[in-house]
A and B are shown apart, each in its own frame.
Chain A
Amino acid sequence: MKLAIEGFHKAFESRIRLGIMSALSVNEKLSFNELKEYLDLTDGNLASHIKALEKDGFIDVNKSFVGRKPLTSYFITKEGIAAFDSHLKALENLIKSQTK
């Protein structure tokens, strides 16, 4: 099957990364544990996907303290929103081209 691959981002080939982006696109920020719970992943697995997205500049980290406990939360960057948007557009175009 031949597909129009314009706009599809390689980083979003993985459904876990897609999930992280989806969750962060509708939330101002989410903590590591919240993401872990939503995606049902192990610490190591989630950390590696987060690292990849951070390296691409799609998400960023915010470290703060709640009392004495460190709280790591993640948020989507402008580049992340743009990349995720164009990925969604590409998916939309794919659907459109199928229904024609």
Chain B
Amino acid sequence: MKQEKDYIQDIAAIRSMMERTSKFLSLAGWAGIMAGVYALVGAWVAYQMFNFNPSEIFYSTTALVPLISLATAVLFITLGTAIFLSAKKAKQRNEKIWNATSKQMLTSMCIPLIVGGLVILILISKGLIGLMAPFTLVFYGLAMYNASKFTYAEIKILGLLEVALGLIGIYFIEYGLLCWAIGFGILHIVTGVYLHYKYER
């Protein structure tokens, strides 16, 4: 016959198993903080060194190639850092980074991100440079909103805020880069700090 405390432990086991198998909780808070820092540096470089701050939808810049290289570099450094830090956290939690839940999380992000990437390429090819930054916010926000089902619930709020900032940026083109810096920079840092203090200490 089981004792009462055994049943209490049963409940804890059920809870932890449900959580572990349905949510990817190895997402590291520091990954968000670093992503935000890279984004702020990227936005600053684009603004200061390439003089990039579109004021209208059709915007011509001589620095398109360096700009795209800069954006790609920021993206890959961010991804690399996120994977590295999450793998470290997964190891601490005795979890694999590539498991059923991280797979589900990534697949749910895939569609909005791929569609977003194609939209950005089309925008570039049509010269609609002013829409680039806000559109990345919208699609990234949708991806986060989708992914939140499989990770921390806070990511859902992050997604919605990114989409809102993107829409503001589309309407007020002259604030597009500023919205981008707030969305990818400040919001990531805030979310990262919040996740770190709430779940990692």
Which positions in A face B, CB cutoff 8 Å? 1, 3, 12-13, 15, 18-19, 22-23, 25-27, 30-31, 34, 37-39, 88, 91, 94-95, 98
Q: When chains A and B are docked, how far (Å) is the Cα of A18 from the Cα of B7?
A: 11
- Give min CB distance, A19 to chain B, whole Å: 5
**Contact present for A19 and B13 (CB under 8 Å):** yes
Closest to B19 in A: A26
Given contacts A1-B4, A3-B4, A30-B21, contact A22 B96 (CB under 8 A): no
Q: Say yes or no for B100: interface residue by CB 8 A criterion.
A: yes
5 pairs of A and B residues whose beta carbons are closest in the complex:
A22-B17, A23-B21, A26-B22, A22-B14, A34-B100
Chain B residues closer than 8 Å to A39, beta-carbon distance: 17
**Contact present for B10 and A27 (CB under 8 Å):** no
Chain B residues closer than 8 Å to A12, beta-carbon distance: 10
**Contact present for A38 and B4 (CB under 8 Å):** no
Q: When chains A and B are docked, how far (Å) is the Cα of A64 from the Cα of B100?
A: 18
Closest to A25 in B: B18
Per-residue CB contact flags for chain B residues 79-96 toward chain A (1 = under 8 Å, else 0) read 000000000000000001
13 more CB-based (< 8 A) A-B contacts, given A23-B18, A31-B100, A98-B4 = A15-B9, A15-B10, A18-B13, A18-B17, A23-B17, A23-B21, A27-B22, A37-B96, A38-B20, A91-B7, A91-B10, A91-B11, A94-B4
Task: Count contacts on B: residues with CB < 8 A to the other chain.
Answer: 19
Q: Say yes or no for B72: interface residue by CB 8 A criterion.
A: no
CB < 8 Å A-B pair total: 56
Find A37's partner among B1, B18, B22, B99 (CB 8 Å cutoff). Answer: B99
- Which among B4, B13, B21, B99 has the greatest number of chain A C-beta atoms within 10 A? B21
- Give min CB distance, A22 to chain B, whole Å: 4
Q: When chains A and B are docked, how far (Å) is the Cα of A34 from the Cα of B103?
A: 11
Chain A residues closer than 8 Å to B13, beta-carbon distance: 15, 18-19, 22
**Contact present for A19 and B100 (CB under 8 Å):** no
Chain A residues closer than 8 Å to B8, beta-carbon distance: 95
- Give min CB distance, B101 to chain A, whole Å: 9
Closest to B23 in A: A26
Chain A residues closer than 8 Å to B21, beta-carbon distance: 22-23, 26-27, 30, 38
**Contact present for A1 and B18 (CB under 8 Å):** no
Q: When chains A and B are docked, how far (Å) is the Cα of A15 from the Cα of B8?
A: 12
Find A13's partner among B2, B17, B18, B100 (CB 8 Å cutoff). Answer: B2
- Give min CB distance, B7 to chain A, whole Å: 6
Q: Say yes or no for B69: interface residue by CB 8 A criterion.
A: no
- Give min CB distance, A36 to chain B, whole Å: 11
Find A18's partner among B4, B10, B20 (CB 8 Å cutoff). Answer: B10
Chain A residues closer than 8 Å to B2, beta-carbon distance: 3, 13
Q: When chains A and B are docked, how far (Å) is the Cα of A38 from the Cα of B11?
A: 17
